[in-house]
Structure 1
Amino acid sequence: MTFRRIIAVFVLASVSVRCTEAIADPNPGLQTRISQHGLDYVTSTAVKKYRHFLRHLSIDDTSGRAGTPVGDVNYDLQQMAIQDADIPNFSIKPQPNVGLKVSLWGASAKVKGDWKYSYKLVFIDIKDSGSFDVQAKGLSLDVVARLGKDKDGKPTISAVSCNAHINDLRVKFNGGASWLYNLFADNIADGMKGDLSNQLCQGATDGINNDLADTFSDIKVVTSFGGDLDFMVIDYRLVEPPKFTDKYLETAHKGEIYQRSQHKAPPFSPKAMPEQKETSRMVYLWVSDYVANTLLYTLQNSGFLNKFAQQIDLPKDSKFALNTSYFAIFVKEIHDKYNNLAMTMTMNSTMAPKLTITEGNITVDTGGVVSFSALPPNQNPVHLFNFRINMTVVLAPKLVDLSIVGNVTIKRFDVSVENSDVGQISLFFVQLATDTMLTNTVIPWINAQVAQGLPLPKVDRLKFVKPELKLTDGCMVIATDLEYTLSDK
């Protein structure tokens, strides 16, 4: 429990993975970094939790033998519980090419429990019992944990080494013939040091190899989108083992978005992440354009970008109207044959939109065909004309509640009449109608989807503090500090 809480605070913030398929791309779509500044914050948070944990810890019963002036004494220590604990020094440090080293030193603790003794004095068996108080000072513990990944891209953790030492341990016996045993308390305390040190390491090792390893195996392998995009998931598998230097911990993740019901790999791969040396903030997250483009590729293949609309589907304050009267002013044949009829509009995306991130800018290039039909009473729809549109939009991203959201505006568009069943159509009218349609119908719909956001990995009770979002060639960089709220458990 202890080491799961210590390490999971930040590991779970950066490790959410998928475990069903082989990982082909050598480069990550997502990358995280936890600096030493971030690890120091984790340390301060972990110390508070560790103190709480120690004060409510029950120590396993133990037994042993200690040499005394009256002979070897067999002892049993039972019902032991820590009454108080102080940990003035605690650290979590990256170990290059290995993992993490968790250390505490200069710690002290007070323990109460029950004792039983037995020894033989000449031919007489002597047994006694009572309670005891132990005060341990100069307690130190060093645990090194190796972090890696398994064949499915899931994180792994195991204890590499553990060293525990108690510099000074004093025992005071109460009850029974305690006045006699207190004369030999130092001899008995020396025998207890090794046992308690071994228990400390055993508990730390079990916490890593069992509790924390189980926590890693239970990590949710995918993160779902919400709302209208719930049919998609994002893959956070590790594409390589976590990387450790003397300044930070770094993890690299797949970052692909695909349909929940089927996985169709995109025809492109992530590029190498740009080199970054910054370590002044606690956490850094790089989101490459690969992530966004797998999203757009999936939207295209799923048909999500194809839409059918009638007047009722348009915003109430829209200046664009799906009624032939709107078009009849500029198209004589519509005025003569189909005046004042309801219309339908079918939008078909003809290419997967492509998102490009450059220094300080995000653009999306997309294109499609918009087909318009009239609805004569009690008759089948009558096709009128098709517009072919290619456009570039600008996306302004921002962070809201651990999701990347944004707002889209039109940078440029090109439009032409692909075919017409109502004769010649003025280019001026085509451009005017398209501009009104995009501004009042298409862009608001896109912004409603973008507002649902790209979910980032989350940890309960963890939030970003003063996050900054920066655009650089090929990726977005999020730099933030953290705030973690301790639970009462």
Structure 2
Amino acid sequence: MFPWRWLALLALIPLALSANAGVKVKLTQKGLDFGRELAVASLQKKLMTIKVPDISGKERVKPIGKVRYSVTEMRVVKLGLPSSAIGLVPGTGFSLTITNAFLSLHGRWRVKYLRFIKDRGSFDLAIKSLSITTSISLRSDNMGLPAVAMASCTTTLGGVSVKLHGGASWLYNLFRRFIEKGLQSQLQKKLCPLVAESVSSMNQFLKTVNVMAPVDRYAEIAYPMVSSPDISSSSIGLNLKGEFYNIGNHMEPPFSPAPFFLPNQEQSMLYIGLSAFTANSASFVYNKAGTLSLKITDDMVPRSSPIRLTTNTFGVLIPQIAKLFPGLMMVLQLKMTKDPLSSIEANKVTVDAKSSLTAYAILANTKLAPLFVLNLDFSVSARVNVVGNKLAGAVTLNRLDMSLGKSYVGDFKVGSLSNIFQIVLKWVVLPTVNVRLKEGFPLPSLGKINLKNTQLQILKGYIMIGTDLQNSG
């Protein structure tokens, strides 16, 4: 396999799509160099499999006359690729150049002359100053996955020398004049096809790109490209969709990504920018799935809390509740009336949510008696961090505004409930949300390439992750 793994995100979906990206990725020269090391190691392994066909012929050698010869059982015993470089071809793809490579072969030789005299032995062939230059094109296949192909390849073989084991001394001249030339020609014919095979074999590995990555039993996140890769002389820029979907029911949200641009930074191998669109598409998906609704019971409130979900507790503030439903347990039903909305400013991620909260008394027959409905408008601050190949986070309460939606127990002052519901949000609702956020969601990835040395910045309009890469395969 020719693992241009770091470039696997280059062509994830048919390029007929054209829209703003929810997620942007930029691969720097440092990232290309990481990939070059993997590529050279894999190419070296592939070139060790070179199979040179047998060579035979006849030549006239003075004063012996006609000599028939054959060279067989050739195999590579040593191969080195000490110098290599990778470069970008703007708008097209990239190139890999290998220089000062060396190659050693071992094989068997046979000769027959003067009609009945035969001789045989072994030989070692050494090639120095071998160079390979190949250009790779990038495209998207009909399944929306990345595909690569070798666009061009050239090889140059420097000095070739043969050392014979056994046989008469005059045979050396024969092998120098004819065998060296024949072997050199055969090797040049074999090298580029092997490089092409290496490039082609990468396409099977590219199918591991997480174009559609599962998040949990409710959602998955899509990372197809929405435009062609932006390949400059120093970096590769990718525009990815970065959108959450309900599993089995893909529906576009009623909003689109806003344009944003990654800054020109080169310290890390890879930069990933995630806009508020991705977070808001998650809100759309999870609210649609009903997972943002929460039933709150007293056993969810910490035992250390002075506030209990009982009609006695609420009756202190709303006497009608204690009179109508004395000594009963309560349950609260929280539902989002709108999808939570995320906004990203410098060093700050905020989520605003509007919800309704219905309070019920639990009657002796376990039926629920509605007490009141509150409109809650609250804001939370989000902390985000990278865990492995995932983006995770946690939220804390900023503010809470309440208004009465409906009362089944008569009029009362909503402000008197502010402290109770701040405790409910801080000690019950947000910890429940944080359990889910702690699990995180997958970032764009490929195979067994992991992120390391990650640094996270919150900029205006997006979150930027700078990271190096590590091969765990």
TM-score for both structures, normalised by structure 1: 0.88
Q: Name the residue aligned to 1:11.
A: 7
Query: In the superposition, relative to structure 1, how do residues 218 and 39 fare at CA in structure 2: closer, same or farther (>3 Å)?
Result: closer
Which one of the candidate residues 188, 191, 202 is aligned to 1:197?
188
Structure 2 counterpart SS, 1:203? helix
Aligned equivalents of 2:11, 2:306: Cα separation in 1:
45
Q: Name the residue aligned to 1:349.
A: 336
**RMSD of equivalent CA atoms:** 2.5
Aligned equivalents of 2:117, 2:231: Cα separation in 1:
57
Q: Name the residue aligned to 1:377.
A: 364
Q: Name the residue aligned to 2:33.
A: 40
Greater Cα offset, 275-284 or 137-146:
275-284
8 Å CA contact retained: 1:16, 1:222: no
Which one of the candidate residues 87, 98, 108 is aligned to 2:102?
108
Question: What residue identity is the alignment partner of 1:423?
Answer: G
Which one of the candidate residues 189, 205, 222 is aligned to 1:215?
205
Aligned equivalents of 1:68, 1:320: Cα separation in 2:
104
**Would you say 1:77 and 2:72 are equivalent positions?**
yes
Aligned equivalents of 1:117, 1:338: Cα separation in 2:
110
Deviations 1:180-201 (Å, cap 9, x if unpaired)?
Answer: 4322222211221121022111
Structure 2 counterpart SS, 1:422? coil
Aligned equivalents of 1:50, 1:354: Cα separation in 2:
49
8 Å CA contact retained: 1:16, 1:219: no
Which one of the candidate residues 390, 394, 399 is aligned to 1:403?
390
**Would you say 1:458 and 2:460 are equivalent positions?**
no
Structure 2 counterpart SS, 1:412? strand
Segments of structure 1 that go 5 or more residues without pairing to the other structure are: none
Q: Name the residue aligned to 2:171.
A: 181
Aligned equivalents of 1:303, 1:471: Cα separation in 2:
29
Alpha-carbon deviation of 1:52?
A: 5.6
8 Å CA contact retained: 1:76, 1:117: no
Aligned equivalents of 1:285, 1:152: Cα separation in 2:
24
Deviations 1:260-304 (Å, cap 9, x if unpaired)?
Answer: 111011111122222522223211111111111111110111111
Deviations 1:133-172 (Å, cap 9, x if unpaired)?
Answer: 1111000001111012235532121110000111111122
Aligned equivalents of 2:371, 2:196: Cα separation in 1:
74
Q: Name the residue aligned to 2:278.
A: 291
Which one of the candidate residues 239, 249, 269 is aligned to 2:226?
239
Alpha-carbon deviation of 1:394?
A: 1.0
Q: Name the residue aligned to 1:439.
A: 426
Greater Cα offset, 315-324 or 43-52:
43-52
Aligned equivalents of 2:327, 2:226: Cα separation in 1:
59
8 Å CA contact retained: 2:393, 2:438: yes
Aligned equivalents of 1:102, 1:320: Cα separation in 2:
67
8 Å CA contact retained: 1:344, 1:374: yes
Aligned equivalents of 1:475, 1:366: Cα separation in 2:
19
Alpha-carbon deviation of 1:178?
A: 6.2
Query: In the superposition, relative to structure 1, how do residues 178 and 399 fare at CA in structure 2: closer, same or farther (>3 Å)?
Result: farther
Query: In the superposition, relative to structure 1, how do residues 116 and 236 fare at CA in structure 2: closer, same or farther (>3 Å)?
Result: farther
Query: In the superposition, relative to structure 1, how do residues 474 and 67 fare at CA in structure 2: closer, same or farther (>3 Å)?
Result: farther
Deviations 1:213-263 (Å, cap 9, x if unpaired)?
Answer: 2322454541111xxx33211111122233321111222211111011110
Aligned equivalents of 1:441, 1:16: Cα separation in 2:
43
Alpha-carbon deviation of 1:484?
A: 2.9
Question: What residue identity is the alignment partner of 2:279?
Answer: A
Question: What residue identity is the alignment partner of 1:212?
Answer: M
Aligned equivalents of 1:427, 1:467: Cα separation in 2:
46
Q: Name the residue aligned to 1:427.
A: 414
Which one of the candidate residues 19, 23, 32 is aligned to 1:26?
19
Q: Which runs of 4+ in 1 moved over 6 A?
A: none
Aligned equivalents of 2:253, 2:117: Cα separation in 1:
79
8 Å CA contact retained: 1:147, 1:241: no
Query: In the superposition, relative to structure 1, how do residues 156 and 460 fare at CA in structure 2: closer, same or farther (>3 Å)?
Result: closer
Aligned-residue identity in percent: 23
Question: What residue identity is the alignment partner of 1:205?
Answer: A
Aligned equivalents of 1:137, 1:286: Cα separation in 2:
46
Query: In the superposition, relative to structure 1, how do residues 266 and 165 fare at CA in structure 2: closer, same or farther (>3 Å)?
Result: same
Aligned equivalents of 1:11, 1:311: Cα separation in 2:
52
Alpha-carbon deviation of 1:61?
A: 3.6
Aligned equivalents of 1:116, 1:252: Cα separation in 2:
61
Aligned equivalents of 2:16, 2:276: Cα separation in 1:
19
8 Å CA contact retained: 2:317, 2:417: no
Q: Name the residue aligned to 1:62.
A: 53
Segments of structure 2 that go 5 or more residues without pairing to the other structure are: none
Alpha-carbon deviation of 1:458?
A: 3.3
8 Å CA contact retained: 2:131, 2:157: yes
**Would you say 1:96 and 2:87 are equivalent positions?**
no
Question: What residue identity is the alignment partner of 1:213?
Answer: N
